[in-house]
Amino acid sequence: MPPAALAYVGDAVYELYIRTYYLMPPKRLQAYHKQVVDQVRAEGQARHLRSLEPHLTAVELEVIKRGRNAATNRPKRVDPDVYQQATGLEALIGYLYLTDLHRLMHLLGQLEFDVPPGDSLEI
């Protein structure tokens, strides 16, 4: 499957995971939206990719590389390197969603999210 297609699927899977992650404790939709947007922006995805890299296999690193190389048409507000890293993460998530859901959930469980003081995030 082309890396751009993997990134397309991975983007949807990642956003759904993040949206689900922030559902508890219940809060206003605006609060959900802000928390989710902070994580699904390219900068947040690039940060998460960097945190996962030590835990990745050679095959997973190759998928990321192919995803980064497929990154085109980036938004003007985003640094090209950051956009490529984000697309690499999305490609990895799409690849794992289609090939190894257990591994995907393990890696997503490794991600650390910013939690405002007093909030607790449980899945």
Q: Which domains does the chain have, with CATH numbers?
A: 3-110 (1.10.1520.10)
11 part of the active site: yes
pLDDT of residue 122: 41
| Residue ranges of E strands in the chain | none
* pLDDT digit string, tens, across residues 60-114: 999 999 999 887 776 778 888 999 999 999 999 999 999 999 999 999 999 987 6
Q: Which of 11, 38, 79, 81 is catalytic?
A: 11
pLDDT of residue 92: 98
CA distance to 22, 69, 72, 114, per residue, from 87 (Å): 22, 9, 9, 21
